[in-house]
Structure 1
Amino acid sequence: MVKKARGVQRREDSLSRERIIEASIELLDSSGESGLTFRALAERLATGPGAIYWHVENKSDLLSAACDAIVARTMDAPLPSATPREAIRALALGMFDAIDDHPWVGSVLARDPAQLPMVRMLERIGQQIRALDVPDDAQWTTVSALLSYILGVSGQNAANAQIARERDADRSHFLDEVASVWSQLDPDDYPFARSVAKQLRDHDDRADFLAGIDLILLGIESAHGR
């Protein structure tokens, strides 16, 4: 009995908030938010739910912590010798890829905009906006526009990928289906949608995302005389 008690104690002593968060990320990636339960997490960590509650308060706390871990890795990535413009592009693309790899991150950020993950992005991108010499009274709206674009497009890209998976279709097949629908729209009511249907089939999501970032940066630089 003594040996068993010591074994349990060692297991619980080795359980850390970091281990719990990493295991949560794995569950979220494989099963989505519905798959993240304290029972499933306890099984993965070979411990009891009670031991997990020593480190996290509830599922909301766990989701926020897991989201923050992903955002922190992205925002803290080294950017040696990068200009402010290059840094913003790298940070934006990093978040695009992170949300593509972890689709649940976008929904957690949308539900919890006041928590640390969002503040991390605000701070890191805001520092680069300051380095671009954007006036103080324009910094908030400038950062807000960038964050809205980054999170909106990244979230939509992840949602599109999820729809394709639910239909058991690969990306090219999914886009081909959408393009076929667009090309058959009424030419009088939807001339533009019909005209870009072929481009939809062949477009690159990451390249399009970066093109949008470049347009925003161009507008920022133009508006402030750079």
Structure 2
Amino acid sequence: MATQLRQSQRRRQVLSRERIVAAAIELLDAAGEGALTVRALSERLATGSGAIYHHVGNMNELLQVAIDSVIADALAALPADGSGATRTPEEEIRAVALGLFDAVTKHPWLAAQLAVQLTRSPWGPVTVRVFESIGRPVRSLGVPQPDWFAATSALVHYILGATTQNAQTPHDGETPRNEVDRAEFLAAASKAWQDLDPDDYPFVTAIAEQMRNHDDRRQFLTGIGLVLRGITTSYSSAEARGTGRTI
């Protein structure tokens, strides 16, 4: 009896909330949101459902904690420029954007969840983390306070929208799972564009080869640059006119 009690106590000590969250993320990475069940988690952790519920309220709560954990880690490990110099606001925004982009690339299930967080849980920790990480450098760009939300929202919506589009979801027969599949997918799409009637689709046929050879990460950063130039140009022009606001 005493031995069983000690073994039970050791199991409770070893099984922590952090271990449960880590195991949940592993399941999500392997097969998506549908794989996160009490049974699968119990088998992975070699424990019972009661021990899991002792640390987390339910599977939905665990999913939310897993999302927040991944985002917190991504934003805490932003790539440095290597020089030790302080980043400019533009560099900080690009670093945050790439951190989120890479997090979704590593955890494809995260893409849909970020969209849900943004639209259904603006008060939640994930949305707040993302807005704070983007909003601080936006403020440093000289954007007037009445426009902080609009400018930050424009960046956040582009970043999350682009990362969602580029996410490669496992077990989706129409989505490329690796670089070879991606190359074949883009080649097929490019040929379909090239085969269109150039009189009806002059622009699409003209960019078909560019689409085949594009790099997702570079394209993503190009979009960030365009949004940032729009923000800085708009507000610097407004300041020169003495209005401090965009038109």
Aligned-partner residue type, residue 109 of structure 1: L
Provide TM-score, normalisation by structure 2: 0.86
**1:89 and 2:99 matched:** no
* Paired-residue identity, %: 47
Q: Which has the higher helix share?
A: 1
- Number of positions where the alignment pairs a residue of Structure 1 with one of Structure 2: 226
Q: Note closer, same or farther for the CA distance 1:32–1:138 as it changes in structure 2 (3 Å cut).
A: same
**1:137 and 2:146 matched:** yes
Residue number among 153, 166, 188 corresponding to 2:199 in the alignment: 188
Q: Note closer, same or farther for the CA distance 1:210–1:160 as it changes in structure 2 (3 Å cut).
A: farther
Residue number among 144, 150, 155 corresponding to 2:159 in the alignment: 150
Q: How does 1:1-226 map to 2 (within 5 A)?
A: 1-77=1-77, 81-113=86-118, 114=121, 115-159=124-168, 163-165=174-176, 170-225=181-236
Of 166-175 and 115-124, more deviation after overlay is shown by: 166-175
Residues 24-75 of structure 1 show CA distances to partners (whole Å, capped at 9, x for unaligned) of: 1111001111111111111111111111111212221111111111111122
Does the CA-based 8 Å contact 2:111-2:163 persist in structure 1? yes
Distance 1:166 1:207 in 2: 19
What is the RMSD of the two structures over their aligned residues, measured on CA atoms?
2.0
Q: Which has the higher contact order (CA 8 A, sep 6+)?
A: 1
Gaps of 5+ in 2: 238-247
Q: Cα offset for 1:168?
A: 11
Distance 1:39 1:6 in 2: 25
Aligned-partner residue type, residue 36 of structure 2: L
Residues 166-189 of structure 1 show CA distances to partners (whole Å, capped at 9, x for unaligned) of: 799611111101111111122222
Q: Cα offset for 1:198?
A: 0.5
Of 159-168 and 129-138, more deviation after overlay is shown by: 159-168
